[in-house]
Structure 1
Amino acid sequence: MPDQTLRPLGNFKPSLWGDRFCSFTLDNQLFEKYSKEVEVLKEEVNDMLVVNDAGGYKSAPEKMVLIDALERLGVSYLFEKEIEENLEDMFKNFEDYSHVFHDDLFMVSLHFRVFRQRGYNLSSSVFKKFTNDNGEFKVTISNDVRGMLSLYEATYLRIHGEDILEEAFRFTKAGLESLKPYLSPDLGEHVAHALYQPLHRDVQRIQARYYISFYENDPSRNEKVLRLAKIDFNRLQMLHNEELCHLFRWRKELNIMPHIPYARNRAVECYCFGLACFFEPKYSLARLIHAMSNIVISALDDTYDSYGTYEELKLFTNALMRWDDTDVMDAVDQLPEYMKGFYTGLRKYFDDSREMMSKRGQKSYGVRYLEAAVCLFLFETRNYIVFSNLDTEWHHSGRHSSVQHGMDGDIATPEAFQWLQSNPRMLSAYSIMARISNDIMTSEAERNKGYTMATGVECYMKQHGVSESEAIAELYKKVENTWKDMNEEIIRPTVVSRDLLLRILNLSRQQDVMYKIGDGYNNPELFKDFVLALFVDPIPI
């Protein structure tokens, strides 16, 4: 008999990819060919980076340009030790050698950005020489497109209280917008890309794919570096496709989709979050577990937000909160059939993750990244369980949720995050940024569902008595503040492993990309070009 229950159905769009990635087979011969050439080119490029200035890159400024190219092209992970040695030495001696480019806006901005990206706290006072007595940037630099673009990108590393970078952002953004129509096609497109998606907030693999195309047309390009970037991108693309294939097969074995046909089918997009977090080949297991967790989180979200009734969700939440109790099956027995199947799948997810984790001692890469992925999952899962249950309570009681309550970030328990020391600022900033971005981009869809609970934007409007456009503008200001929080947290010395903090930063970048184009998760067509670039279309060699 058909289910006659009135449910807040999401009517989500189907996946664009079906089972496309299930049948991928790695071409071992081609992969080995690529890997061998990568090793040869890696040695040749490495000679350009040695601290004793061998290989033709004799000056620190030239090395900084090379390091920046390697990072943008997505191959800096091959030279981590060499890059660190160079930057440590260059930062220590910056005052001694920076006089050679003291009035070069491009070079000063490049050093500032790369140092800050790597956690070296170069003072923003280095830009004072480009301002007048009133603290305004000199008009004479406005036609220096290369310098203006470099300064613009540097402003995204600003932290709280850096007024000079706030002014630099306004000045360069307006200046580049006005210059854009008069630039050559290649440079104009490059400026437009930066204005839309600044480097510091871009997903590394997406940035690499874009920048390889741009760098190929750069007259100053290094051919060996370019070839290394192309071959390595295609090599990693093959590995990432193999992982996608494993993920699709695992999801089929998990067997939750037949029980929850209302849920979004977004396995590819879920994998993209893991890929954004850590793309390097040695973190394959961490990527897979992160992608698996995203699939489960998405299903939880859809169950709470777009299918379950109030009474069903109370029962389901009770069963989840009694996860480790000996009498948990008593709670499970009270669930409707579809929830029983889902609950069984959740337990299988944890069993599979535990089994994969137990084998980590046999892996050659750092366990800390895998642990980061799992802990982030636990944080987000508890967010969904608690927030969604509260949302349901508010919906049925006629109350409105508080935006500030939803952004407090006090959900993570000390037990779950002992090594993160009870909800650190970095994780809280990510949570706030992700929640606001999601609220803004999904508010219209939520209203169209007929769901009566106020969206985050509507809550802000009611609390502060402002219009929708004013509310969105203020919420985006909060997002900007969270980016400053994260920028401060990655400056050395850090309270925890900087590598972990960068993974959280990478998740924030994925959120920025996903929701800048609209609601890229609910509307997979918006994210289609990224998927094609990352997994389907190799770079012509």
Structure 2
Amino acid sequence: MASQVPQILASPISCNMENRPKADFHPGTWGDVFLNCPDKDIDITTQLHYEELKEEVRRMLVAPMDTSIRKLPLIDAVQRLGVNYHFEKEIEDALEAIYHDNNEADNDLHTTLRFRLLREHGFDVSCEAFYKFKDEERNFKSSLTNDVQGLLELYEASYMRVHGKDILDEAISFTITHLTLADATLDYPLSEQITHALKQSIRRGLARVEARRYISIYQDIESHNKALLEFAKIDFNLLQLLHRKELSEICRWWKDLDFTRKLPFARDRVVEGYFWIMGVYFEPQYSLGRKMMIKVIAMAFIVDDTYDELIPYTDAIERWDNKFMDQLPEFMKISYKALLDVYEEMDQLMTEQRRQYRVEYAEKGDDTTCSSLSFGSQMDSSKLQTNIRGV
């Protein structure tokens, strides 16, 4: 196969962009909304207060309690407010103690909350505790419906189920029925929590989106922790500012490439791609990873949308070399050069960190993706020809 490559690339491929199949992707909707970012930084007074609040929350997480399980509501609030990435060790240590604590949870809410939090963190915790919620006829006790907050926690815990554990499947059906009935009779903020939960459980939410939503709810819960709430608000604003700066940088990079004019058939989805990456890792220490990954994703869109002239483009990508660019049609040169530039930038940044080996893995992954696109496109073409012959 390798010996055929020079023949394939021996002369430029003639291809007219106007003759390409059109996918009719709708144009990008964001325009220049994120092109510029407010140039503001946190003042020293706010920064100092922020650090003080952070230490106060840390002290609460490590403070001894009469039983370790009493710390569950605090851990849950820290997670749902989106600041748990500051206290990973403290939370892990607390949950480790809770896992090994033989004292049975003293109420239904603690039972379900313990189960959910431990499973979220990978602990092998049994569903056996939920059988205490059933009566002699193996139905869920009607008394459970008297505690709507506990019912909501049972609902959320049920989404941590695994295959073969029927009791949690039954719990979902039971809680959905009774939460739906109770929702219309409740006051804010509990009513809002239930309405949202029935649409989307905690397990299925995106961390930053859910944090912003929960901040608004948590501040109206009478028992909220003021220091934690204030810390979460400042932290959200700081992290949002960082994300805005990153997105602004990415949008400028994308606009400079001018793909919307040069390759009008391709998708303009760089903002959506950045949002997708935010669902993978949002923490500040992964800033470089986010910026590199969105560039790779954006180029994957372009490569995918360019994939009609299969063999020459696949061969060029497998070689990662500018000298093969002259063998490509003009519109393919645009995306190929941009792709090489992204990986060249990645190579320079990783070399500075002595992690250059990571780029090789990324390139191999891109090769695999392109080979898959090539195969898929050939199959689509084959099916189209078969259908035409059939007609």
**TM band (smaller chain):** 0.7 to 0.9
Paired residues of 2:299 and 2:335 also in contact (CA < 8 A): no
Contiguous gaps of at least 5 residues in structure 1: 362-366, 401-450, 453-541
Give deviations 1:40-72, integer Å, cap 9, x for gaps: 10111222111534xxxx543331100100000
Aligned counterpart for 2:108 among listed residues 93, 102, 105: 105
Structure 2 CA distance for aligned equivalents of residues 253 and 244 of structure 1 = 14
Per the alignment, do residues 355 and 253 of structure 1 end up closer, same or farther by CA in structure 2, a change over 3 Å counting?
A: farther
For 1:42, the equivalent position in structure 2 comes to 54
- After superposition, the Cα gap between the structure-2 partners of 1:329 and 1:61, relative to the gap in structure 1 and judged at 3 Å, is same
Cα distance in 1 for partners of 2:17, 2:53 equals 64
Q: TM-score, normalised by structure 1?
A: 0.63
| Equivalent residue runs for 1:330-341 within 5 Å | 330=324, 332-341=325-334
1:318 to 290, 297, 315: 315
Instruction: Give the CA deviation at 1:353.
Output: 1.0
> Following TM superposition, by how much is the alpha carbon of 1:33 offset from its aligned partner in structure 2, in angstroms?
4.3
Query: What amino acid does structure 1 have at the position aligned with 2:28?
Result: S
Task: Report matched runs for 1:424-463 at 5 Å.
Answer: none
Correspondence 1:388 to 2:373: yes
Match of 1:124, as an amino acid?
C
Report the equivalent of 1:514.
Answer: none
What is the percentage of aligned positions where both structures have the same residue? 37
Please say if 1:204 is aligned against 2:207: yes
CA contact (8 A) 1:9 1:262 kept: yes
| Contact 1:72 1:208 (8 Å CA) reproduced | yes
For 1:236, the aligned partner's letter is L
Q: CA deviation at 1:289?
A: 1.2
2:178 alignment partner in structure 1: 175
In the other structure, the counterpart of 2:82 is 74
Cα gap change, 1:32 to 1:352, in 2 (>3 Å): farther
When residues 376 and 346 of structure 1 are mapped into structure 2, their CA distance, relative to the original with a 3 A threshold, is closer
Q: Match of 2:293?
A: 290
Unmatched segments (≥5 aa) in structure 2: 1-14
**How far did residue 236 of structure 1 move?**
0.8
CA distance in 1: counterparts of 2:301 and 2:360, whole angstroms: 15
Task: Kindly provide the CA deviation profile for residues 201-237 of structure 1, in whole angstroms up to 9, marking residues without a partner as x.
Answer: 2111001000001101111111111111111101111
Q: Which residue of 2 aligns with 1:472?
A: none
Pairs within 5 Å for 1:346-357? 346-357=339-350
Q: Secondary structure at the match of 2:69?
A: helix
User: What does 1:108-123 correspond to in 2, within 5 Å?
Assistant: 108-123=111-126
Alignment-mate amino acid for residue 98 of structure 1: E
Counterpart-to-counterpart distance in 2, 1:81 and 1:344:
44
Following TM superposition, by how much is the alpha carbon of 1:133 offset from its aligned partner in structure 2, in angstroms? 4.1
In the alignment, the residues of structure 1 paired with residue 61 and residue 192 of structure 2 have an alpha-carbon distance, to the nearest angstrom, of 30
Q: Residues 87-121 of structure 1, C-alpha deviation per residue, up to 9 Å, x if partnerless? A: 1111111x2x225x1xx222111010011111112
* Root-mean-square deviation (Å): 2.9
Tell me how far apart the structure 1 counterparts of residues 273 and 162 of structure 2 sit (CA, whole Å): 30
How far apart are the structure 2 equivalents of 1:33 and 1:26?
18
Please tell me whether the aligned partners of residues 303 and 335 of structure 2 are also in contact (alpha carbons under 8 angstroms).
no
Q: Distance in 1 between matches of 2:17 and 2:236?
A: 51
Q: How does 1:228-247 map to 2 (within 5 A)?
A: 228-247=231-250
Equivalent residue, structure 1, for 2:274:
271
User: Would the aligned equivalents of 1:256 and 1:345 in 2 still touch at CA under 8 Å?
Assistant: no
TM-score by length of 2: 0.86
Q: Among residues 19, 28, 49, which one is paired with 1:15 in the alignment?
A: 28
| Contact residue 274 and residue 291 of structure 1 kept, 8 A | yes
Larger Rg: 2
C-alpha contact (below 8 Å) 1:31/1:238 kept by paired residues: no
**In 2, are the aligned partners of 1:136 and 1:167 still within 8 Å (CA)?**
no
2:263 corresponds, among 260, 264, 286, to 260
The residue type paired with residue 342 of structure 1 is: S
Residue 88 of structure 1 is matched in structure 2 by 96
Counterpart position of 2:337: 344
Deviations 1:259-279 (A, max 9, x none): 322222222211112222111
Size of the aligned set, in residue pairs, is: 373
Question: How far did residue 185 of structure 1 move?
Answer: 4.2
Q: How much has 1:3 moved relative to structure 2?
A: 5.3
Shift in CA distance, 220/376, structure 1 to aligned 2, threshold 3 Å: farther
SS at match of 2:62: coil
